[in-house]
């Protein structure tokens, strides 16, 4: 495979920086830029209007993309989603409605558990959609609808650009589904597609936080445990942040739904505990602020990822606030992926780990 790191120290960093371009490229596959509408390409013309529900399953980072997708499908298209990690899904004996659709998300298209879940759904009469980065993969070959992510080859074991391209594809599908199901007006669709078109610009802006993030990463490289919190569509980003950090820096990290803090993780909070909060100024922002106040009251050190409005209205002392551009709430999960990835990346660099090939992990897990 002829791919090199260019001027970057690691493939992971190169792939993080490719995101404005590959997200735009992927978006262009699913939307008509001039008309500001979703236009599903040939081979991907899914009829969402006739569906009662959608099943989705994936592993690792792709699963977190699916989790964001669940919020989008439910909010934008009023389409109920049955979601699970593939290793559970394949054995759950999930009852599936006749003529249903199941979606599988996989960078490699070769993950054994995801493929087994696909076959379970196929055996139970489902149509199969596959969001894959490798169009020649097993999962793509066994699908009725191939939904490619145009991220290009991803070399770093920890997924970055494939994740944001999976999210981009899911967002386009959810907008298209919303329109087909009569939940979004033509005007709603235009607004959402316009927001999506602006993602690359916001992603580029988010990349400019790198120096600030590097400073933070130095602090993080000295701790043993990190907690990530998020609510709503930021919850999967908290999970992804924790996953990225543990995968490449080997620092123990947990992602939690902010509202679940009081049901356990709050017991861990003390002055040594960094708590990274993913919280764009959206509908659930004030709720997340209450959770931050609970953390602050116990001496926890808060690192807040938000925007100008959020920084202005959050009455809470933070160790650091990273300011992202203001943007429509629907696209925030895609843009907030950048600081989350950069923080894990730079922490790992300070730890001196093998960033592109972390110990014990494989790029593609083709055995159970
Ligand atoms: C491995 C990789 C992860 C990836 C997961 C799912 O664990 O290290 O980065 O998210 O597999 O892989 P897939 O190819 O199915 O997206």
How far apart CA 58 and CA 105 sit, in angstroms, is 5
Sign of the C-alpha dihedral, residues 106, 336, 41, 177? Answer: positive
Structure tokens that stand for 351 in this block: 């730890």
Q: What would the mean pLDDT of 171-180 be, rounded to a whole number?
A: 98
Ligand 1 midpoint to CA 157 (Å)? 8
CA distance 272 to 4: 39
pLDDT of 342 higher than 60: yes
Hey, CA dihedral for 173, 178, 180, 186, is it positive or negative?
Answer: negative
Residue nearest to atom 7 of ligand 1 (CA): 60
Cross-strand bridge partners of residue 55: 82, 102
Whole-angstrom distance, CA of residue 200 vs CA of residue 298? 38
Average pLDDT over residues 33-49: 95
- Residue closest by Cα to atom 11 of ligand 1: 364
Quote ipTM for the complex: 0.96
pLDDT value of residue 175: 98
- pLDDT category, 31, cuts 50, 70, 90? very high
Quick one: which of 241, 213, 209 has its CA closest to 337?
A: 241
Q: H helices within 250-336, ranges in order?
A: 285-297, 308-313, 332-335
Residue 316's nearest CA partner among 294, 293, 286, 285 is 293
Residue 236 has a CB neighbour count (10 Å cut-off) of 26
Per-residue pLDDT band at 6 (split at 50, 70, 90): confident
Active site residues: 363
Q: Using a 6 Å CB cutoff, which residues line ligand 1?
A: 59-62, 106-108, 111, 114, 157-159, 361, 363-365
At 290-318, the pLDDT tens digits run 999 999 999 999 999 999 999 999 989 99
Determine the distance separating the centroid of ligand 1 and the alpha carbon of 24, expressed in angstroms. 22
CA 6 from chain center: how many Å?
26
Average pLDDT over residues 160-187: 98
Return the SS3 of 41.
coil
Residues 143, 127: Cα–Cα separation, whole Å: 8
Per-residue model confidence (pLDDT) at position 1: 54
% of the chain exceeding 70 in pLDDT: 99
Residues in the chain, total: 368
* Ligand 1 atom closest to Cα of residue 139: 15
Can you tell me the mean pLDDT for 86-99? Answer: 90
Q: 258-282: b or e for each residue (b if 16 or more CB lie within 10 Å)?
A: bbebeeebbeebeeebbbbbbbbbb
The answer to whether residue 2 scores a pLDDT higher than 80 is: no
Q: What mean pLDDT value characterizes the chain?
A: 95
245 and 344 in contact (C-beta within 8 Å)?
Answer: yes
Instruction: Judge whether 223 and 251 are in contact, CB under 8 Å.
Output: yes
Higher pLDDT, 284 or 354: 284
CA distances from 346 to 57, 95, 125, 197, 341 (A): 30, 44, 46, 29, 9
Residue 338 predicted with pLDDT over 80: yes
What is the best residue among 56, 59, 103 to mutate for testing ligand 1's pocket, by most ligand atoms within 8 Å of CB? 59
pLDDT in tens, 194-218: 999 999 999 999 999 999 999 999 9
CA 68 remoteness from chain centre: 6
Answer for the pair 338, 322: CB distance below 8 angstroms, yes or no. no
pLDDT at 62 over 80: yes
How are the residues of the chain apportioned to helix, strand and coil, as percentages rounded to the nearest 5? 50, 15, 35
Probe target for ligand 1 pocket from 15, 56, 57, 62, with the most ligand atoms within 8 Å of CB: 62
Ligand 1 centroid–CA 104 distance in Å is: 13
* Atom of ligand 1 minimally distant from the CA of 58: 15
| Whole-Å CA distances, 307 to 72, 209, 215, 222 | 21, 12, 19, 27
Q: pLDDT category, 7, cuts 50, 70, 90?
A: confident
CA 109 / ligand 1 centre spacing (Å): 9
Tens digits of per-residue pLDDT, 219-265? 999 999 999 999 999 999 999 999 999 999 999 999 999 999 999 99
């Amino acid at each position: 495979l002829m791919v090199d790191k260019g001027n970057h120290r690691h493939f992971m960093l190169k792939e993080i920086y490719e995101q404005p371009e590959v997200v735009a490229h992927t978006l262009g596959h699913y939307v008509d830029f001039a008309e500001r509408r979703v236009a599903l390409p040939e081979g991907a013309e899914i009829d969402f209007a006739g569906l009662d529900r959608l099943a989705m399953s994936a592993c690792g980072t792709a699963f977190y993309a699916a989790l964001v997708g669940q919020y989008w499908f439910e909010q934008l298209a009023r389409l109920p989603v049955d979601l699970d990690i593939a290793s559970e899904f394949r054995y759950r004996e999930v009852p599936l409605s006749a003529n249903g659709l199941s979606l599988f998300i996989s960078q490699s298209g070769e993950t054994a558990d995801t493929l087994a879940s696909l076959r379970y759904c196929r055996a139970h009469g489902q149509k199969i959609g596959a969001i894959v980065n490798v169009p020649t993969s097993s999962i793509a070959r066994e699908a009725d609808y191939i939904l490619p992510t145009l991220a290009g080859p991803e070399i770093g074991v920890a997924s970055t650009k494939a994740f944001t391209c999976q999210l981009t594809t899911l967002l386009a599908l959810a907008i298209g589904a919303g329109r087909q199901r009569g939940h979004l007006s033509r005007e709603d669709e235009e607004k959402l597609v316009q927001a999506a078109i602006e993602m690359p610009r916001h992603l580029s802006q988010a990349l400019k936080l790198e120096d600030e993030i590097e400073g933070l990463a130095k602090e993080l490289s000295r701790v043993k445990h990190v907690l990530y919190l998020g609510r709503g569509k930021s919850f999967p980003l908290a999970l992804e942040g924790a996953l990225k950090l543990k995968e490449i820096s080997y620092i123990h990290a947990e992602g939690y739904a902010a509202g679940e803090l009081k049901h356990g993780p709050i017991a861990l909070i003390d002055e040594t505990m960094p708590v990274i909060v993913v919280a764009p100024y959206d509908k659930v922002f004030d709720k997340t602020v209450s959770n931050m106040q609970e953390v602050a009251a116990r001496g926890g050190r808060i690192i807040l990822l938000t925007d100008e409005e959020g920084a202005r209205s959050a009455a809470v002392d933070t160790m650091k606030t990273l300011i992202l551009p203001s943007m429509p709430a629907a696209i925030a999960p895609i843009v907030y992926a950048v600081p989350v990835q950069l923080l894990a990346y730079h922490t790992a660099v300070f730890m001196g780990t093998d960033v592109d090939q972390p110990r014990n992990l494989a790029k593609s897990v083709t055995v159970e």
